[in-house]
Copies of this chain bind each other. A is one copy, B any other.
Amino acid sequence: MKGLTLGQGSGGRLTQSLIADLARAFGEGSPREMEDCALLPEGMAVTIDGFTVSPRTFPGGDIGKLALCGSINDLAVRGAEPRYIALSVIAEEGFDEEELSRHLSSAGRICRDERIRLVAGDTKVVPRGAVDGLFLTVAGLGLPRRRPELAMTNLRPGDSLILTGPPGRHGAVIASERYGLATEGLKSDCAPLWDLLSPLLDLPGLKTMRDCTRGGLGTVLCEWTEAAGLAATIDEADLPVDEGVLSVADLLGFDPLYLACEGTALLALAPEEADQALARLRSHPLGQEAALIGQITDDPLGLVEMTTLAGGSRIIDMPVGEILPRIC
């Protein structure tokens, strides 16, 4: 018997292989073609995500807000306007009803703010010990507002890479809570991104976008270059920085590049449109730290390289093992 490892849930290489098994069982093609959100021929976009975050409440959010933002952002980065959600609640016998109500309310608040309707729900209560507290699964439905479709396969050498904020804030917060660190001022970036990203959808040179969740910025860059058969370079000096993230990462030995974001996206677009995109992003409260961090290249080795602050060069590889379980 071969048992599942936490690494298979961490968003890196092992997760890819688990998803490949899943796709195979359903007779679907290579999961490389599977984006986080599907565009259906009937004109709707759909995404699904399970949320198991621990702790359930953290600086900047809770499992309810996180679940909504995760779904909204999966739709938003594919250019789909979030419209409906379906929510499945699995709770443990004895779970505090007030806490449940708090998490549902914060999910509900995001729905109201973003004009999204809850259209279907399911609740299961399982015996004590069968689940750790509360898991939520959200399916998000939206309306595609972008033609041609955004997709990793649109990437071309020379495309500019823009990051909408500092990487790793959500992961750093969860790590810091988990290890009992008090990191002043550090908050999860957990936020709905449709309002920030939708003004970019009329830029014809916009190629693709992705929120840097499990596996962080590093994993997204590796997935993009693999899917497109290209390479990328980024410059450490250009990365937006959150000092809190750096100190948590330093203390715990994490690399911020692989720490999850929940309200920060990577964008690729034609270089002549980069300034315009940056200006639009920076005019929004969630995009004030947006920065041009590098570009797509056609380096034949297909690597993601980072010019370090020290002036050297470092390969950004897809993470293989566990990073931090139950980040989302």
CB atoms of A119 and B42 under 8 A apart: no
Set of chain B residues within 8 Å of A92, measured between Cβ atoms: 4
Name which of A95-103, A248-256, A311-319 contacts chain B.
Answer: A95-103
Among residues 1 to 24 in chain A, which have CB atoms less than 8 Å away from a CB atom of chain B?
1-10, 15, 18-19, 21-23
Q: Which residue of B lies closest to A95 (CB)?
A: B4
A50-B137, A126-B132 as given contacts; A42 in contact with B40, CB under 8 Å? no
A137-B137, A325-B127 as given contacts; A22 in contact with B87, CB under 8 Å? yes
Set of chain B residues within 8 Å of A87, measured between Cβ atoms: 22, 48
CB atoms of B50 and A4 under 8 A apart: no
| Separation of A100 and B21 alpha carbons in the complex (Å) | 10
Q: Which residue of B lies closest to A14 (CB)?
A: B125
CB atoms of B132 and A26 under 8 A apart: no
Set of chain B residues within 8 Å of A36, measured between Cβ atoms: 120
Contact of A131 among B19, B40, B121, B131 (CB under 8 A): B131
| Separation of A125 and B14 alpha carbons in the complex (Å) | 11
CB atoms of A6 and B118 under 8 A apart: no
Set of chain B residues within 8 Å of A43, measured between Cβ atoms: 42
Set of chain B residues within 8 Å of A108, measured between Cβ atoms: 25-27
CB atoms of A130 and B127 under 8 A apart: no
CB atoms of A94 and B46 under 8 A apart: no
A228 CB–B CB distance under 8 Å = no
CB atoms of B326 and A27 under 8 A apart: no
Number of interface residues of A (CB under 8 A): 81
Q: Which residue of B lies closest to A43 (CB)?
A: B42
Among residues 24 to 43 in chain A, which have CB atoms less than 8 Å away from a CB atom of chain B?
25-28, 34, 36-38, 40, 42-43
| Separation of A188 and B44 alpha carbons in the complex (Å) | 35
Contact of A101 among B5, B25, B125, B143 (CB under 8 A): B25
Nearest-CB distance from A164 to chain B (Å)? 23
A46-B120, A125-B325 as given contacts; A4 in contact with B135, CB under 8 Å? no
CB atoms of A4 and B48 under 8 A apart: no
CB atoms of A48 and B88 under 8 A apart: yes
| Separation of A42 and B27 alpha carbons in the complex (Å) | 28
| Separation of A309 and B253 alpha carbons in the complex (Å) | 72
| Separation of A28 and B94 alpha carbons in the complex (Å) | 26
| Separation of A27 and B104 alpha carbons in the complex (Å) | 11
Set of chain B residues within 8 Å of A38, measured between Cβ atoms: 84, 86, 119-120
Contact of A125 among B9, B25, B105 (CB under 8 A): B9
CB atoms of B84 and A40 under 8 A apart: yes
Set of chain B residues within 8 Å of A117, measured between Cβ atoms: 26, 28
Nearest-CB distance from A184 to chain B (Å)? 28
CB atoms of B135 and A26 under 8 A apart: no
CB atoms of B42 and A143 under 8 A apart: yes
A291 CB–B CB distance under 8 Å = no
CB atoms of B124 and A94 under 8 A apart: no
- Taking A22-B123, A129-B132 as known contacts, 8 extra A-B pairs with beta carbons closer than 8 A to each other, sorted by chain A number, are A22-B87, A27-B108, A37-B120, A48-B139, A52-B131, A125-B325, A130-B131, A130-B132
